[in-house]
Copies of this chain bind each other. A is one copy, B any other.
Amino acid sequence: VRQAPIGVFDSGVGGLTVLKALAAELPNEHFVYLGDTARLPYGTKSPETVARYALQAAEALSEYGVKCLVIACNTASSVGLPAIRAHICGVPIIGVIEPGAEAACAASKSGHIAVIATEGTVRGGAYQEAILRLRSGARVIAQPTQLFVALAEEGLHQGPIADSIAQHYLEPLFGAALDSASSRGLSASPGPAVSRDALTPDTLVLGCTHFPMLAAAIRAAIGPDIKIVDSAATTAKAVRETLERESLTRLAPPVPSPIRFLATDSVERFARIGSHFLERPIHAEEVELVDL
């Protein structure tokens, strides 16, 4: 079992940011990555539909003999995790919401936390609930930032268009912090800045696996003082801890190609766009077309 691969599932290519973090955190492991590209995006679909799709994908991955299942999709984690845990037994199942919520609670001083995500994740309320479970006095605001997904997939994650869209979504959330950050340079009076800061989140959770691609534009829009929590890195840490606790870490170094790619549609598009997300070339021949 220790030598078995880790199954990683996402609606498309976004989860490759999680896979990248996993491969860095666990360099000995093998992976099977499944992108349900035929049915993406999950972020605008109803909870029932997403839960059904996520369960089908998780079942498909279990047939590859995986020792651990990572739901590397915020929307699927948000609404599909209970159904997946109820139907798939014997392997640890790790979503991206819990690790992200934990990291946000650890990072935030004020307990005022902003979450940006897809429509489906925001509406499902899973981040809000997970954060409040860990820190009952927290104040969470969640904002759908749907266009970030299309921007990342179009390769327009940097530049003036990304900057203006990031401003459009984030200035309403962080306006006070931006004002106080710039006024600190101009004035020594801390009075009004403190009271406005209290209304402004000090931590921003990137609640969609596409969003780390837009980190530069997001940072520019919120200024230097807000902490950014990227659930890819926190999920990779949670997976490592789980494998260690359950004595499931792989012992030998991996084979030369330790990642197997599966997609439900257009292997060419998966390879082309996925290469940006994984930050290494994926060739269409490496991607297997599967039917769920």
Interface residues of A in 133-166 (CB under 8 A from B): 146-147, 149-151, 153-154, 156, 160-161, 164-165
Contact with B along A155-197 (1 / 0, CB 8 A): 0100011001100100000000000000000000000000000
Asked if A44 CB lies within 8 Å of chain B CBs, one says yes
Q: Which residues of B contact A161 (CB under 8 A)?
A: 161, 164-165, 168
**Total chain A interface residues with beta-carbon distance under 8 A:** 26
A154 vs B45: C-alpha distance in the bound complex, in angstroms? 15
A151 B147 Cβ-Cβ under 8 A: yes
Given the known interface contacts A151-B147, A154-B146, the answer about A46 and B165 at a Cβ–Cβ threshold of 8 Å is no
Among B40, B150, B160, B266, point to the contact of A149 (Cβ < 8 A): B150
Interface residues of A in 238-292 (CB under 8 A from B): 265-266, 269
A44 vs B263: C-alpha distance in the bound complex, in angstroms? 13
Q: Which residues of B contact A266 (CB under 8 A)?
A: 44-46, 49
Q: Which residues of B contact A265 (CB under 8 A)?
A: 45-46, 49
Among B39, B41, B45, B160, point to the contact of A164 (Cβ < 8 A): B160
Q: Which residues of B contact A150 (CB under 8 A)?
A: 146-147, 149-150
Asked if A1 CB lies within 8 Å of chain B CBs, one says no
A147 vs B265: C-alpha distance in the bound complex, in angstroms? 20
Q: Which residues of B contact A160 (CB under 8 A)?
A: 164
Asked if A38 CB lies within 8 Å of chain B CBs, one says yes
Which residue in chain B gives the minimum CB-CB distance to A144?
B154
Chain B nearest CB, measured from A219 CB (Å): 19
Which residue in chain B gives the minimum CB-CB distance to A148?
B150
Give me the interface of A with B, judged by CB distance under 8 Å. Answer: 37-41, 44-46, 49, 119, 146-147, 149-151, 153-154, 156, 160-161, 164-165, 168, 265-266, 269
Pick the 7 closest A-B CB pairs, nearest first.
A150-B150, A46-B266, A46-B265, A49-B265, A147-B150, A45-B265, A161-B164
